[in-house]
Amino acid sequence: MANNKLYKGSLSTIILKLLEENGKMYGYEITQKVKELTAGELVITEGALYPALHKLEGDGFLTVEYALVNNRQRKYYTLTSAGKEEKAAKMDELRQFVEQMQFLLNPKSTFNG
């Protein structure tokens, strides 16, 4: 997808937000949830998702637990308290970015309200 490049910088924010809303999730579930929410417009590749998850886990924003599902181990990710704070900060950052982009791309509508 051409617009995937725009989403890439926000991948960790998307992951943190999804985990906050859904409690615990595993990698494949995250890719499917994103696909479902964006009606297939955004496809997160494994090569982007797992490094982002590992980084968030390494930074202490996610904690993991394992469960035996359908004859295999499944790794579930959950937000830590530091992760919740990080999510709030990232969301603020993203909101500001969107506002600034709106202002830059469509200044008249912003002035007119």
Partner 1 sequence: MARVLTKSEIDQLYDFVAVKDIPYYDVQSEIVDHLASLMEDRWAKGSQLNLEQMFLEVYKEFGEPEWREMWVSKQKATWIQLWLEAKDLVMRFFRLPLLLWLMLAILVVQQIVEKLPEQLSILIYTPLVVQVGLLVVIWMIYFRRLSANRYLSSDACIHIFALEFWVAFWFLRLLYYSMGKVDWNVWLFATAYVLIVLLSIVIPTMLRIVGVRRSIARHRSFMKIS
Q: How many residues bind partner 1 (CB under 8 A)?
A: 26
Measured distance CA(101)–CA(73) in Å, rounded: 43
Closest CB to partner 1 among residues 8, 54: 54
Per-residue binding string, partner 1, 80-109, x by CB under 8 A, is ------------------------------
Q: Does residue number 27 form part of the binding site for partner 1 (CB under 8 A)?
A: yes
* Residue of 3, 22, 45, 102 that binds partner 1 (CB under 8 A): 45
DSSP 18-82: HHHHHSSEEHHHHHHHHHHHTTTS----HHHHHHHHHHHHHTTSEEEEEEEETTEEEEEEEE-HH
Is 83 within 8 Å of 17 (Cβ atoms)?
no
By the criterion CB under 8 A, which residues form the site for partner 1? 26-28, 32, 45-47, 50-51, 54-55, 57-60, 64, 66-75
